[in-house]
C-alpha cells in the first residue's frame, strides 16, 4: 500500500488538522508516514501545503515527485491547481468549491472549476455549505477529508477514532461535529 497526498489550502483553513487526522489514522494501522509542510505567511491567508506520504513499507523521502501524487486534497479550489503538476494522470482531486479570495486578482471561480474538471478523477464539493448545514461551519476541512477517505487505503473507522483523539481536549460536542462532518464528506464521495 502506498498513497501520496498533497494537502493544500491557505492559513487558517485547517490543513494541519487534516494532516493530523490522516497521520493518526495511519499510525493506528501500523503504516509508515512522512510529512513535509510549507506555511507561506499562513497567518495572513498565505498558502499552506503538505506533502503526506503513507506506505506499508518504509518511505525514503518526505517529498512527492511531480507526477507522482495520488490525491490532491484542497480546501480551496485555486490551491488545488497550484499543485496539479504533482498529480498522477489517474490521480484524484478532491476540492472544496468555495474560494478563499485573499488577493485582488483572484481568477474567475468558474474558470478555476472548469480547469479542475479537465482532470479525469475529480470530486468538487461545497464543503463550507455542508459544514454549515450540519451546524459546524468550522469543520469544512473535515468534510473535504471525508470526501477523500475512499481513496486512502485506511479503514474509515480509523479516521473517526483519530478525530476522537485529536479533538479530545475540546470535548464531545466538537468531536461529534467533526465526525458528522467526516461522514457528510464521505457521503458525497460515495454518491458520485
Identify the bridge partners of residue 180 per DSSP, sorted by sequence position. none
Amino acid 102: pLDDT: 80
On whether the pTM is more than 0.85, the answer is yes
C-alpha cell at 107: 481568477
**Closest listed residue to residue 52, CA positions, set 108, 4, 92, 16:** 4
Amino acid 122: pLDDT: 98
Instruction: Give Cα separations from 129 to 57, 134, 164 (angstroms).
Output: 38, 9, 23
Amino acid 45: pLDDT: 66
Amino acid 44: pLDDT: 61
User: Can you give the pLDDT of all 192 residues of the chain as single tens digits?
Assistant: 999 999 999 877 888 899 999 999 999 999 999 998 776 655 566 778 889 999 999 999 999 999 999 999 999 999 999 999 999 999 999 999 999 888 888 999 999 999 999 999 999 999 999 999 999 999 999 999 999 999 999 999 999 999 999 999 999 999 999 999 999 999 999 998
Amino acid at each position: 500500500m502506498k498513497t501520496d497526498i498533497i494537502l493544500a489550502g491557505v492559513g487558517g483553513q485547517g490543513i494541519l488538522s487534516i494532516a493530523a487526522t490522516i497521520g493518526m489514522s495511519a499510525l493506528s494501522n501500523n503504516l509508515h508516514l512522512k510529512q513535509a509542510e510549507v506555511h507561506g505567511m499562513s497567518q495572513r491567508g498565505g498558502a499552506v501545503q503538505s506533502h503526506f506520504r503513507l506506505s506499508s513499507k518504509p518511505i525514503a523521502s518526505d517529498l512527492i515527485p511531480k507526477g507522482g501524487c495520488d490525491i490532491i486534497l484542497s480546501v480551496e479550489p485555486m490551491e488545488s491547481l497550484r499543485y496539479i503538476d504533482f498529480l498522477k494522470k489517474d490521480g484524484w482531486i478532491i476540492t472544496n468549491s468555495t474560494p478563499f479570495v485573499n488577493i485582488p486578482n483572484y481568477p474567475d471561480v468558474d474558470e478555476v472549476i472548469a480547469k479542475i474538471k479537465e482532470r479525469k478523477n475529480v470530486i468538487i464539493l461545497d464543503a463550507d455549505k455542508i459544514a454549515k448545514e450540519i451546524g459546524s461551519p468550522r469543520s469544512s476541512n473535515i468534510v473535504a477529508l471525508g470526501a477523500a477517505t475512499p481513496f486512502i487505503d485506511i479503514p474509515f473507522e480509523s479516521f473517526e477514532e483519530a478525530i476522537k483523539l485529536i479533538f479530545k481536549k475540546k470535548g464531545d460536542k466538537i468531536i461529534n461535529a467533526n465526525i458528522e462532518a467526516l461522514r457528510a464528506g464521505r457521503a458525497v464521495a460515495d454518491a458520485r
